[in-house]
């Protein structure tokens, strides 16, 4: 297998991936701020790094994958107060919903899933280091801020210069800051806030700012320098820029070697987001579309490209995935390891090693399916299943997929099977009108019948 190349946002180019420790990869991804249901944009982000995680493991690396949960934030506090519940009750409930939704999409759990509230001592230690290094100061309002202009490398991730950054664009103007560009490390407690979001510190009662949370959790779990840091493109600035500034400012050495950012999901040419109100929750989409179809739809676009969401695109993804499963239905095969010396596998690996290029990898799967349809080769069918499994698809039986059964669930439906049996009896009795009526009735409910030459009738959902 060829060398893996990753597009490193920090370098603005694809680079050969060389881990700090040979054979091992340390990866941190900014996870969810938990106060509402996850939407398709969130699914796209977690799917992108699920593929990275899977491919690194398929490539033989031992991966330590950390994806955090932000369980303290202005929006979380506001929502909990509105609901008349504790912060813990709100975040525990939506964490459970998140696990349900992304689990349905086949997104693997990370090796560690730290919650921000569990790492406040580590955050305070980092802030103390920044204060000692002359990069943090306590303002008149009690907040502790990071002094952006005192960190020489600020802007290296986003490519923004200090002169280009105008106060008020994406940064809150606060007259207590020395400079409008400065960002908060520690927020002074407000009387109106619940006691559960107040921690003691040398600067007084307060709570951490958003940016310091990820610095503390990543360094605690992965070490003070690690391989990969990822997240959505919207986090590149200011969140990841600020992470670099505060972490390198505190530790006085480089922080992360490779920065990876996935593209947005777009709806009507606008980014899908809660703030714009133009989003579909994962669970609402899964009421209408099979979870593997949604996964396949996301994987058909390169993770750095915009992804245009529409029902038509999901319908097309369903038809394409059905073609792959139909190939495996016609040429059944058990699961087996990938034969990486085989030609299709080499092309698949070449695509995935080129910055996780899933669209090209999936095109290879269709080429392989075409070959299977011609040759009826069981060996190639095993290869198709094995390659697809490295990116989390084609892991159900064809019958499970075609009949809409979840992974691990039994295919078939007793009511449908009974109607098919009644139709067969009607055909044997030459009651073709009744046979046609049953077929038509099933079709109105999205059930397609296929009469095989051996007299067996199979069915699938439209």
Residue 313 annotated as part of some ligand binding site: no
**Contact residues for 289 (Cβ-Cβ < 8 A; gap 6+):** 314, 318
pLDDT tens readout for residues 354-397: 999 999 999 999 999 999 999 999 999 999 999 999 999 999 99
**Of 31, 27, 30, whose CA–CA distance to 57 is shortest?**
27
β-pair partners for 32 = 69
* 289-402 CATH: 1.20.120.640
**Cα gap 322→284, rounded to integer Å:** 22
* pTM: predicted TM-score of the whole model, two decimal places: 0.88
Convert 282-300 to b/e letters by CB count within 10 Å (16 or more is b). beebbeeebbbbbbbbbbb
**What is the predicted pLDDT for the residue at 160?**
87
Q: Is 243 annotated as a binding residue?
A: yes
Which one-letter DSSP state was computed for residue 112? B
Residues in the chain: 462
Task: Give residue 445's pLDDT.
Answer: 72
Q: Residue 200 to residues 120, 121, 146, 274: CA-CA distances in angstroms? A: 10, 10, 19, 32
Q: DSSP secondary-structure letter at 239?
A: I
The predicted pLDDT at position 462 comes to 73
Q: Report which of 133, 123, 108 is spatially closest to residue 203, judged by C-alpha positions.
A: 123
Domain boundaries along the sequence of the chain: 7-266, 289-402, 414-461
Does the annotation list 445 as a binding residue?
A: no
The Cα 118–Cα 116 span in angstroms is 5
**What value, to the nearest 5°, has the Cα angle with vertex 228 and ends 113 and 354?**
120
Cβ–Cβ under 8 Å, residues 404 and 411: no
In terms of CATH, what superfamily is 7-266?
HUPs (3.40.50.620)
Q: Answer yes or no: is 214 a known binding residue.
A: yes
pLDDT of the residue at 419? 76
User: Which residues in the chain come in under a pLDDT of 50?
Assistant: 1, 167-171
Contacts of 154 (CB under 8 A, 6+ apart): 148, 162, 241, 245
Q: Kindly report the number of other CB atoms within 10 A of residue 306's CB atom.
A: 13
Q: Is 219 annotated as a binding residue?
A: no
CA distances from 439 to 1, 424, 436, 445, 453 (A): 50, 10, 5, 10, 17
């Amino acid at each position: 297998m060829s060398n893996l190349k990753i597009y490193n946002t920090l370098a603005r180019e694809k680079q050969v991936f060389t881990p700090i420790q040979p054979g091992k990869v340390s990866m941190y991804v900014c996870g969810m701020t938990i106060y509402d249901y996850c939407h398709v944009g969130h699914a796209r982000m977690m799917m992108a790094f699920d593929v990275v995680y899977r491919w690194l493991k398929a490539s033989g690396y031992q991966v330590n994958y950390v994806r955090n949960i932000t369980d303290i934030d202005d929006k979380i506090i506001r929502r909990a107060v509105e609901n008349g519940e504790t912060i813990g009750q709100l975040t525990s409930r939506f964490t459970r919903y998140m696990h349900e939704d992304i689990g349905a999409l086949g997104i693997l759990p990370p090796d560690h899933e730290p919650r921000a509230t569990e790492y406040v001592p580590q955050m305070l230690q980092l802030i103390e280091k920044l204060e000692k290094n002359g990069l943090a100061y306590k303002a008149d309002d009690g907040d502790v801020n990071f002094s952006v202009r005192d960190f020489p490398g600020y802007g290296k991730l986003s490519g923004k210069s200090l002169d280009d950054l105008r106060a008020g664009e994406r940064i809150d103007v606060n007259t207590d800051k020395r400079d409008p560009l400065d960002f908060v490390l520690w927020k002074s407690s407000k009387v109106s806030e619940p006691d559960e979001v107040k921690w003691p510190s040398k600067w007084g009662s307060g709570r951490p700012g958003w940016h310091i949370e990820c610095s503390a959790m990543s360094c605690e779990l992965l070490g003070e320098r690690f391989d990969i840091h990822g997240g959505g493109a919207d986090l590149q600035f200011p969140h990841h820029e600020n992470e670099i500034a505060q972490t390198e400012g505190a530790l006085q050495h480089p922080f992360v070697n490779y920065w990876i950012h996935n593209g947005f999901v777009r709806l009507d040419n606008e980014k899908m987001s809660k703030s714009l109100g133009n989003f579909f929750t994962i669970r609402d989409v899964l009421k209408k579309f099979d979870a593997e179809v949604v996964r396949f739809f996301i994987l058909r676009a390169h993770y750095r490209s915009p992804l245009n969401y529409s029902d038509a695109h999901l319908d097309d993804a369903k038809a394409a995935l059905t073609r792959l499963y139909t190939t495996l239905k016609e040429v059944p095969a058990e699961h087996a390891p990938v034969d990486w010396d085989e030609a299709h596998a080499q092309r698949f690996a070449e695509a995935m090693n080129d910055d996780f290029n899933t669209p090209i990898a999936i095109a290879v799967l269709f080429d392989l399916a075409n070959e299977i349809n011609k040759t009826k080769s069981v060996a190639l069918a095993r290869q198709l299943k094995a390659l697809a499994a490295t990116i989390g698809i084609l892991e159900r039986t064809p019958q499970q997929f075609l009949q809409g059964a979840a992974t691990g669930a039994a295919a078939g439906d007793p009511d449908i099977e009974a109607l098919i049996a009644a139709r067969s009896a009607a055909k044997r009795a030459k009651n073709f009108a009744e046979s046609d009526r049953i077929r038509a009735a099933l079709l109105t409910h999205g059930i397609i019948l296929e009469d095989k030459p051996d007299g067996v009738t199979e069915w699938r959902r439209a």
